[in-house]
Amino acid sequence: MRIIDRVLAAVDRVAPPHVAHAHCDLPCGVYDPAQARIEAESVKAIQQKYNDSNDEEFRTRALQIKEERADLVKHHLWVLWTDYFKPEHLEKYPQLHELFWKATKSAGESKKTTDTAVGQRLLDEIAEITTIFWETKKG
């Protein structure tokens, strides 16, 4: 047995490991779907500005920014889904899984289109998530 293995085995006998529970390495406890909503509002506004413009340089830049914002929407939604929501939330709100799936799919679709209806659908789905989120914060 290597010396490090013997030391670690001795430490385990003296102080057995404790199980720690945290949602991340540095739990801040600050979650808010507003971050996803703000980015989704940007996506929809950029879709509209793209459609209203004939300036090709502006439109190219708008597409790049819209895609970045749509990625940020997905990021903020996944942080909420994976870090904030717990099994007991899913028990109380069984539609959560499908709702997050739809919203992240809509964010992905928003990257590919300039259709403001897709941007609005994304905002509507985030609004549903927001309602549930704040209900879970009440108690």
User: Does the structure show a pLDDT above 80 at 10?
Assistant: no
Q: Predicted confidence band at 33 (pLDDT cuts at 50, 70, 90)?
A: very high
Residue 59 has pLDDT above 60, yes or no: yes
Domain ranges of the chain: 30-138
Q: What confidence score (pLDDT) does residue 5 get?
A: 72
pLDDT per residue over 66-92, tens digit each?
999 999 999 999 999 999 999 999 999
Q: What are phi and psi of 62, to 5 degrees?
A: -60, -40
9 vs 25: CA distance, rounded Å = 26
Q: What's the pLDDT score for residue 18? A: 55
Mean pLDDT across 49-64? 98
Overall average pLDDT of the 43-48 stretch? 98
* Contact by Cβ (8 Å): 70, 110: yes
CATH architecture for segment(s) 30-138: Up-down Bundle (1.20)
For residue 30, the model assigns a pLDDT of 79
